Amino acid sequence: MKYGYVRVSTVDKQEFTRQEFVLKDYAIDRLFEEKISGTKKACGREEFNKMLTLLQEGDEVYFESMSRMARSVSDLIDTTNLLIKEKKVRVIFIKENLTVGGGKGLDAMSALVFHIMSAFAQFERDLIADRTKQALEAKKAEGVKLGRKPSVGEDVAECIRQARGAMTYDELAVTYGVSRSTVARILRDAR
């Protein structure tokens, strides 16, 4: 059987469309989709584990790229070894045009290519992380406020702080149309 695995990191903002488009040409029998950070090891992901339980010797597992399986070289190597040595399946990384396994493990040349490609994938992810960090630091230096927008305006927060002691948290929440936890956070931060 041919299995496909697609993963995106965030629940709200990313979709599987691009990866599914790439996999459509490979006659996948069953596709596993997961919305979870790649920093979580592959074998610690629910859908990945479901796929593992179904794998039989000789099956094929398709990934759009190495980064969809794992985000670190060590996890990529460990997971690939699990798939090809223990499960005895072939692993296909489409973007890297790399097929490994089939029950025999990696021969010397395949192991070299695999390790070089995984090192480049790790390098690429590290560069992206560095650029993101630098961009955020530059925005901070410009005075841009980062992070989530406040759930209430400063005027409402000030009213809640002024009414402290005169009303209960529940009364403040109803009066100002916010949650009880927002009231508690505002008053905690005011201390």
Average pLDDT, the chain: 87
Share of residues in the chain with pLDDT > 70 (%): 95
Domain 2-138 -> CATH class: alpha beta
Paired sense of beta strands 60-63 and 98-101, if any:
unpaired
Identify which has the larger pLDDT, 78 or 113.
78
- Global pTM reads 0.66
The pLDDT value recorded for residue 87 is 92
> How sure is the predictor about 49, in pLDDT bands with cuts at 50, 70 and 90?
very high
pLDDT, tens only, 93-109: 999 888 888 656 566 77
Structural contact between residues 63 and 20, judged by C-beta atoms closer than 8 angstroms: no
The answer to whether residue 9 is catalytic is: yes
pLDDT, tens only, 113-165: 878 888 887 888 788 889 989 999 999 899 888 887 777 888 888 888 888 88
Which alpha helices (H) appear in 28-179, and where do they start and end?
A: 46-54, 66-69, 73-81, 108-141, 154-162, 169-176
Per-residue tokens: 13? 């903002």
Segments making up each domain of the chain, as ranges = 2-138, 154-190
The pLDDT value recorded for residue 53 is 96
pLDDT, tens only, 8-24: 987 666 788 989 999 99
Residue 153 DSSP SS3: coil
- Choose the catalytic residue: 9, 65, 72, 110: 9
